[in-house]
Amino acid sequence: MEKLIITPKTKIFDLLEAYPELEDVLIGMAPQFKKLKNPVLRKTITKITNLNQAATIGNLNVEILINNLRKEVGQSNIDAINEQDNINTTKPDWFKESLIVNTIDIREMLHAGEQPVHEVMAEIKKLQNDKILKVIAPFIPAPLIDKSLSLNYQHWLDKKSEQEFIVYFRKE
């Protein structure tokens, strides 16, 4: 069987299935990846999170992350990876606390091993013009933000602490 080629689109689950030894490399690169030790999170989040998104979560340059992982397994470097940082961390003009119509805290869902993407996306799709959905997460929910962007929703990520991130979503 051919070994997995590591790219920014590689899912963490697939990476760790093919190269379990890379778990410690990931954790060494960013403390946020210690969550990989949690078997519940490992079974859920890693299946929807690719390495490009993981770089965002870990506050790492995607090229450095990918090439470090590739080096560990004997693959050659990739030059000039197109790193897209689509995450808006600047408070937008459209944000007003009074426009928040719903809040979803996905921390408990994740802890219970549930996938919050479908529930959150269902709520986002219900948003009326100018109304805002507030999502509370234990890390930057890059897959969720990417999904919302693909459907033309706006967002604002507000980092409260290393364990609490608030994402506000709004219809464009």
**Contact 76/108 with Cβ under 8 angstroms?**
no
Dist. CA 63–CA 55, nearest whole Å: 9
Which among 155, 139, 3 is positioned nearest to 72, based on CA atoms?
Answer: 3
Burial (Cβ within 10 Å: 0-12, 13-18, ≥19) of residue 95: middle
What lies within 8 Å, CB to CB, of 40 at 6+ separation is 110, 111, 112, 113
Residue 152, both tokens: 């033309």
Q: What is the pTM of this model?
A: 0.65
pLDDT tens per residue, the chain (172 residues)? 468 889 888 999 999 999 999 999 999 998 888 888 888 888 888 888 899 889 988 888 888 999 999 999 998 887 755 555 577 888 999 999 999 999 999 988 887 777 888 899 999 999 999 999 999 998 888 888 888 888 889 999 998 987 899 999 999 8
CATH class of 97-171: alpha beta
Domain with CATH 3.30.110 in the chain: 97-171
Find residue 171's DSSP bridge partners.
153
